Structure 1
Amino acid sequence: MFPGLEKLTITECSLLKSAPTQLETLRELEIERVDSEMPLLNLCSNLTCLVDLDVSDVKELTCLPDEMLRKNVSLQRLWISDCRKFCELPQSLYNLHSLESLRISFCPNFSSFPVPSGENYLTSLRRLHLLYCDGLTSLPNGMLEQCRSLKILRVSNCKNLVSFPLHVWEVPSLSILDMSNCPKLISLPTGGLHHLTGLWDLKIGPFSEIVDFEAFQLIFNGIQPLLSLHTLWVYGHGHWDSLPYQLMQLSSLIEIRLSDFGIDDLPHSLCNLTSLETLHLVGCKRLQHVDFRDAMPKLHYLEICGCPLLEALSDGLSNPVCLEMLIFWNCEILERLPSRDVMRSLTKLQFLKIKDCPQLEESCTNWSSPNSQWSNISHIPKIKVGGRIFRT
């Protein structure tokens, strides 16, 4: 049956209970939305040259057979997602010396990553994604040893992850590092992020409450000369009333997202980010003042979201002269934009969005009110207030 078949996709066959076992030439297998694990196990029982395996929403799958990975040493891509009962990978994972991409995502019971032993390591690994695996509490020491080609490392939204020993010197080729939204994590990267000279995208935090601000700030020591870093998302805690000072010295940074810090004002040193084009201020519950007192010559996108104490914006908003998009979201008491002259000085502003800011929404759409701010914004080509869109 199909003696030369190299690629097979099975999708949305929820009642399928078995599959052929004699497809030895198969190189790419994708199976999704199948209840039973038996079709997958049948298909893989005699495979030896599998290169790409993508498993999604196989409801009864709990693990991959150790023998299956031992026999398919040429496997380059292994993705498992939305398998609710999947809980572990076998020890033979480290026999996959050709494996370049490993992704485990949305598997809430995944809890066990094998401990490397002997001389077997994932020496070809370039991309590792562990996402939304709430059963995962720890990752073994040495897991990334010899992964010198690793380019992308994402360990994100694993709500119960406590331990992940990351030694920067083991992964010198990283260009993307995401250690975000793992709120119980107590392991901090060691070895100095500044040694990752090709790093251009970093998302980090929040860590466990056990990790204090001083320890968190130390992560960024020496990062200032890292000219490759273009995107930075940093998550803090509501009782941290300042930002890591090193962040304000990243002159090559293009995008920054500051989330959940307890700052009440933007630091003056933000103006040092002279290459910055995109700024997100998210969930800063104590933020009361946003004043761009100094020029940010390249800023074109500004988003302020979830800042319940922010009442008004200062006229310093005129300093980002290249601003094109301005977004306010879920700022309950925000009621005033900058003056009419300031808003009209933003000649490149193309889009204004206001959502879940009841007082500001009222003053921007009630044209007859003496406090109406419509004249401040009516020149903007596209305005979205609440669910209403205005094109001027």
Structure 2
Amino acid sequence: MFCRSAFKQNYPPDGFMELASEVASLAGNLPLGLNVLSSYLRGREEEDWMDMMPRLRKSLDGKIEKTLRVSYDGLNNKKDKAIFRHIACLFSGEEVNDIKLLLADSELDVNIGLKNLVDKSLVKVSDGTVDVHGLLQKMCKEIVCTQSSEPGEREFLVDSKDVCNVLENNTGTKNVLGISLNMDETDELHIRGDAFKGMSNLLFLNFFSSREKEVPLHLSEGFGQFSPKLRLLYWDEYPLKFMPSKFQPQNLVKLQMWKSKLEKLWDGVHPLIGLKEMDMYASHNLKEIPDLSMAINLEKLDLSHCSSLVELPCSIQYLQRLRDLQLAYCKNLETLPTGVNLESLYKLNLKGCTLLRKFPDISTNMSKLYIDKTGIEEIPCNVHLENLYDLKMRGMSDKLWDKVQPLTQLMTMLSPFLERLVLSDIPSLVELPSSFKNLNQLEDLRITDCKNLEIIPMELKLECLTSLDFKGCSKLKTFPDISTNISWLDLSRTAIHEVPWWIEKYSSLEHLLLNGCNNLQSVSIELSKLEHIKEVEFSDCWALTEATLNDIPNALPLAMRKASFKFNNCFNLDQEALLQQESVFYKSIQLPGEEVPSYFTHCCTTGTSLTNIPLLERAPSQQVFIFRVCAVVSNSAPRFGSNGVDIQVNCRFKGRFENSFDSVGEPQRFWVPMKDSHLLIFGCCIPLNKDTSAPLAQLNYEHVDIQIHLGNTRIYLEGPKAPISNFMLKGWGIRLLEDCSSPENPNNLPQYVCEAEEHNMGYETERSEESVDSNVETERSKKRMRIV
């Protein structure tokens, strides 16, 4: 929509792609915003766009703001307006209940106010979360700016420059209720020692960052007089070892100090009656937790990755409303206090606590228990887990499983209502006990990397099971027809030598993974019966030579076109035989290879354009131009494992009178191995838009130019941010598909997925450096396509 208005075509011209994407993002894809901004920028040069971008990033276009303010000004209640300003400036993306708690003592009627805001379409509530559109947030911030020319006199500080100036110059006043600073937008931050002293009514303070790189923070001597009214304190990478000596946390509702340098929070006991959540994630220097005996309403305590923490305070026994206790990767934690068996505790995560030797004393009310990678050596006989429905025990101590039948005792403790069980690395496990049949509510079963597991009882039936994972059980040759409701099946790195025939009964199956199964030499699956299949993987199956994936009697459900197939590193596979099958339903296929297969009839070895391809005759009602693409891609600078590449295909339809029409397909994303070249094959549906102007819609087109673009999917490692890969296009080609929506379709195949055999056989194009010029005319190529 934006491109058609700004450029009068369906995709940006060269040099405008990134600019156009950013403008569309600034508009939040809101039709009003797209319309106004496209009119504002139409006809301007690239340099003009670049000059205008800073202003667009910072403020709204006047026409947009005037239109958006209608709903805000239509709010009759001042309290509703205040609630909206709070949410738009500080709380967009927060949960409804958290917003109600944070505004509980503000004299704002949040329950009724939220309903009014939803009615006015100023906020959206979905899955318990409140969201404000980006344009509305920007409008609200500009409303706040009108409160005073001095930032320190406004109720909210959200602009990074304003926040930095106020904190550096100590110009904040009692009018300031909330500060939200995105530290990614500043190179360094200076805070005066008494910067918060004047902000006596400050309720909400949020310093956040998503970058790995720390922002240099300069604190003047004597820093630290926060308002005692503070209800929310978020401060990523807090730089001091201790909280200020005069810090008064008694009104806190949420305390979140991710990746802080804190060693200790505060001394003594504080009346933390309102505190609901305390999150010290990855505060690696934290050695001590304060006395929390008066935090009687605390519901969540997250100390994950606090690697210097040795023990928890005994005061934890007084937290009678604590539901969620996160202690993952507290690597120096050796014991838990006896009072941790709180009846209220719903979830306990001890993953990675390698020095923890003793099974925790937990309440029978526990629902989720994660003890992966702990040093626990024994499970006491008196443990009862009758209410547990989620248990994870991956990578446990070998001593725990040092028995002939390692799972027998565990099975007697588990609830028949267990829904998820995750186990791994049990060297003594040879056969699953028959008592597994008692877990008849199990939905997710993962037993992975058990190198000696050979036998799964053939009579085992778990009809509720939807996800089954036996990957890495390298001696497992067969598995039973365990459930017809499975949607996820992973048998990677097993000794399986054939795909069981009953897989075809799994009508709900979406993901079938058999990577690294080196006993597989051939596979044959009637995938037409798997109506919901999305992903099939046989990568690293080195012995695989043949894959028959299509046995279609007459017709195939349209949903089948969503399936993706991966054969990465299957170097012995007969690729031509695979491609020549009538597997017209796939979304994509990945194969190893250095050249475009002969199946693709219009090819290019070095350029990114194929030009003057004759068009087939199209049905008047057809809305898409369909073909298959094969790109030969190599990664010239791989860093690890699999890397991401995005592929974009654009088309220009051309008529005999030099008229043309541009259209663009959906970007395709692939994850490919770091070594060797691979073929990335996918179906492409280019829209023939009906939204073009009437004169253009009546023009006839005879040829099409097709362009391909590669881009890296940006993934980063720890340290300086830089793309980890650099993909190169070594060649590419296409194969046209014919419209099969007409009654004359002889095979009655699904709409838009027939092979255009006659055309493809007659027009193999020459490979050239820059483009392919296919000007051979036949009766077919003279026929035109009408865009309607």
Report the TM-score range of the alignment, normalised by the length of the smaller protein.
0.7 to 0.9
**1:322: which partner in 2?**
508
Q: How far apart, CA to CA, are the structure 2 residues paired with 1:222 and 1:161?
A: 21
Distance 1:111 1:194, change over 3 A: closer
**Structure-to-structure mapping, 1:168-317, within 5 angstroms:** 170-172=363-365, 174-182=366-374, 184-188=375-379, 191-196=382-387, 199-211=388-400, 212-213=402-403, 214=405, 216-221=407-412, 223=414, 225-226=416-417, 229-261=418-450, 262-270=452-460, 272-287=461-476, 289-292=477-480, 294=481, 296-307=483-494, 309-317=495-503
* Equivalent of residue 166 in structure 1, options 344, 354, 361: 361
Supply the AA of the counterpart residue of 2:453. Answer: I
Distance 1:83 1:153, change over 3 A: same
Supply the AA of the counterpart residue of 1:325. Answer: H
**Structure-to-structure mapping, 1:337-352, within 5 angstroms:** 337-340=522-525, 342-343=526-527, 345-352=529-536
**1:52: which partner in 2?**
254
Q: How far apart, CA to CA, are the structure 2 residues paired with 1:202 and 1:193?
A: 13
Name the SS of the counterpart of 2:358 in structure 1. Answer: coil
Name the SS of the counterpart of 1:247 in structure 2. Answer: helix
1:113–1:139 contact (8 Å) kept in structure 2:
yes
Per-residue deviation, 1:220: 2.3
Unaligned runs of 5+ in 1: none
Distance 1:223 1:66, change over 3 A: same
Question: Does 2:332 align with 1:148?
Answer: no
Name the SS of the counterpart of 1:93 in structure 2. Answer: coil
Per-residue deviation, 1:201: 2.2
* Equivalent of residue 35 in structure 1, options 236, 239, 243: 239
Question: Does 2:298 align with 1:108?
Answer: no
Distance 1:78 1:50, change over 3 A: same
> Could you report, residue by residue, the CA deviation over 1:274-328 in whole angstroms, capped at 9, with x for unpaired residues?
11111111332332x1344x36221121112344x44443434334343222123
**1:367: which partner in 2?**
575
Per-residue deviation, 1:33: 2.0
Supply the AA of the counterpart residue of 1:121. Answer: Y
> Could you report, residue by residue, the CA deviation over 1:63-111 in whole angstroms, capped at 9, with x for unpaired residues?
22232x5343432211111222222323x13342221101111222222
* Equivalent of residue 4 in structure 1, options 171, 195, 201: 201
Q: How far apart, CA to CA, are the structure 1 residues paired with 2:407 and 2:266?
A: 40
Distance 1:359 1:83, change over 3 A: farther
Name the SS of the counterpart of 1:282 in structure 2. Answer: coil
2:336–2:360 contact (8 Å) kept in structure 1:
yes
Distance 1:14 1:263, change over 3 A: same
Per-residue deviation, 1:31: 1.0
Q: How far apart, CA to CA, are the structure 2 residues paired with 1:376 and 1:161?
A: 56
Question: Does 2:264 align with 1:63?
Answer: yes
1:333–1:357 contact (8 Å) kept in structure 2:
yes
Structure number with greater Rg is: 2
Distance 1:234 1:124, change over 3 A: same
Name the SS of the counterpart of 2:240 in structure 1. Answer: coil
2:392–2:422 contact (8 Å) kept in structure 1:
yes
Q: How far apart, CA to CA, are the structure 2 residues paired with 1:53 and 1:122?
A: 16
Supply the AA of the counterpart residue of 2:275. Answer: L
> Could you report, residue by residue, the CA deviation over 1:159-185 in whole angstroms, capped at 9, with x for unpaired residues?
332224234xx241x332222222x21
Per-residue deviation, 1:222: 5.7
Supply the AA of the counterpart residue of 2:511. Answer: M
Distance 1:87 1:359, change over 3 A: farther
Distance 1:209 1:8, change over 3 A: same
Unaligned runs of 5+ in 2: 1-197, 210-214, 545-566, 592-671, 673-678, 684-788
Distance 1:125 1:29, change over 3 A: same
Q: How far apart, CA to CA, are the structure 2 residues paired with 1:84 and 1:224?
A: 36
Per-residue deviation, 1:158: 2.0
Supply the AA of the counterpart residue of 2:339. Answer: M
TM-score normalised to the size of structure 1?
A: 0.81
Supply the AA of the counterpart residue of 2:574. Answer: N
Q: How far apart, CA to CA, are the structure 2 residues paired with 1:301 and 1:25?
A: 50
TM-score normalised to the size of structure 2?
A: 0.43
Supply the AA of the counterpart residue of 2:466. Answer: E
Question: Does 2:288 align with 1:88?
Answer: yes
Larger helix share, 1 or 2: 2
Distance 1:56 1:187, change over 3 A: farther
**1:98: which partner in 2?**
297
Distance 1:316 1:77, change over 3 A: same
Q: How far apart, CA to CA, are the structure 2 residues paired with 1:239 and 1:373?
A: 41
Q: How far apart, CA to CA, are the structure 1 residues paired with 2:383 and 2:537?
A: 39
Q: How far apart, CA to CA, are the structure 2 residues paired with 1:109 and 1:377?
A: 60
Name the SS of the counterpart of 2:491 in structure 1. Answer: strand
Q: How far apart, CA to CA, are the structure 1 residues paired with 2:582 and 2:373?
A: 36
1:354–1:384 contact (8 Å) kept in structure 2:
no
Q: How far apart, CA to CA, are the structure 2 residues paired with 1:332 and 1:338?
A: 11
> Could you report, residue by residue, the CA deviation over 1:202-225 in whole angstroms, capped at 9, with x for unpaired residues?
223443222234464312216463
Q: Which segment drifts farther, 208-217 or 374-383?
A: 374-383
1:278–1:299 contact (8 Å) kept in structure 2:
yes
Q: How far apart, CA to CA, are the structure 2 residues paired with 1:42 and 1:152?
A: 32
Supply the AA of the counterpart residue of 1:177. Answer: L
Distance 1:181 1:20, change over 3 A: same
> Could you report, residue by residue, the CA deviation over 1:127-159 in whole angstroms, capped at 9, with x for unpaired residues?
11111222222223x1324x2122222211223
Supply the AA of the counterpart residue of 2:491. Answer: I
The root-mean-square deviation of aligned C-alpha atoms, in Å, is 3.1
Question: Does 2:522 align with 1:333?
Answer: no
> Could you report, residue by residue, the CA deviation over 1:21-58 in whole angstroms, capped at 9, with x for unpaired residues?
141000111111233335xx128723321121111112
Q: How far apart, CA to CA, are the structure 2 residues paired with 1:377 and 1:247?
A: 42
Q: How far apart, CA to CA, are the structure 1 residues paired with 2:589 and 2:267?
A: 55
> Could you report, residue by residue, the CA deviation over 1:348-386 in whole angstroms, capped at 9, with x for unpaired residues?
433212334444432685324xxx666789465345546
**2:743: which partner in 1?**
none
